[in-house]
Amino acid sequence: MRYSLFDLHCDTAYRMLTERQPFAVNEFAVSAEKAKRIETYVQVMALWIDHRASDAEGWSLFWRMLENLRRDPSLSDGTAFLLKGLPPKPSEISLLLALEDARILENDLSRVDLLAEAGVRILTPMWSGETCMGGAHDTQSGLTDFGRLALRRAMERDMIPDISHASRRSAEEIFALAAESGSPVIASHSNAYAVCPVTRNLLDREVAMILASGGVIGLNFYVGFLKEDGKANCADLLPHIEHFLSLGAQHSLCLGGDMDGCDLPPDLQGVDAIPYLADILLAHNYPEDLVRAILFENARAFAERHLFPNA
């Protein structure tokens, strides 16, 4: 059985640039070749800023990743498209842009507008440590004054805030800013803290606030966020899915595999393995309409409401 797939987070663009491999055929988890088993495929390409780069170097890195992606032969020959509206065409490979780690704004509010004009639709404000934006998950710090200004401007430009790497305090402040702006909040690639208690996973109260905002949650495939000992396989997604569903996330639960940015389960090594996840869910008596919702429909509905409302 073929499925459509809408995934909220991968780091493939960084690897394409740094390892000089194209999107069509590569050694990565995400490629056009691996997507052949997918009916319609929408992938959020997170432009990840390497933590080893300075803020200034990161700003340059963002533009080099974007240019490399835009110039990729798969986009010029029509194999894949940067998505400008919904719904995507059947059997189409479509890409959306996100920024992961907004420290590259370097206290310059005008850069938010440049990101919006470049097509960035999802903004992950921080990745680790304390930056000009505020504190990440490995700190106790909240947003900076500039972080609040930048997030307000980003939401004015219809970018969606993503709390996946935020500290608890930063996340609370992002929820408050989003409520003022009428914007949803998402966690593009996070699992359930109640199942695997690591700082990158979501507390129940954060899940409730995401749902209340109209946001979505992308299930992360990283073995260390599935089980504390890191010895995880595809089936270890099920306890996280069950927990999120118990909190009422049936219309908000999506995929955010973090592919090409983490260690993946041995039986979930690429987008071509996603149908195997669907088979596991069906074997555990998940209704087919719920499986299709998690794999595609929930994210597409969110995108129709908030990423392309006028399309």
CA distance linking residue 98 with residue 100, whole number of Å: 6
State which residues of the chain have pLDDT below 70.
Answer: 85-90, 309-311
pLDDT at 37: 81
Distance CA 242, CA 137 (A): 24
* φ and ψ of 220, to 5 deg: -95, 135
Which residue in 172, 168, 177 sits closest to 150, CA to CA? 177
Residues listed for the chain: 311
Report how far Cα 68 is from the mean position of its chain's Cα atoms. 20
Q: Return the pLDDT at 311.
A: 53
- Tokens describing residue 189: 């690639």
Of 287, 280, 215, 202, residue with least CA distance to 253: 215
- For 281-309, give one letter per residue: b (16+ CB within 10 A) or e: beeeebeeebbebbbbbbbbbbbeebbbe
- CATH fold label, 3-307: TIM Barrel (3.20.20)
Q: Which residue has the tokens 């805030």?
A: 161
Q: Hey, where are the domains in the chain?
A: 3-307
Alpha helices in 12-54 (DSSP H): 12-18
Cβ atoms of 275 and 37 within 8 Å: the answer is yes
What residues are paired with 3 via a beta bridge?
38
Question: Which phi and psi angles does 279 have, rounded to 5°?
Answer: -60, -40
Residue 205 three-state SS: helix
pLDDT at 83: 81
For residue 170, CA distances in Å to 149, 174, 239 come to 13, 6, 27
Strand partners, 143: 134
DSSP 114-144: HHHHHTEEEEE--SSSB-SSBBBTTSS--B-
pTM attached to this predicted model = 0.96
Retrieve residue 25's tokens. Answer: 């055929």
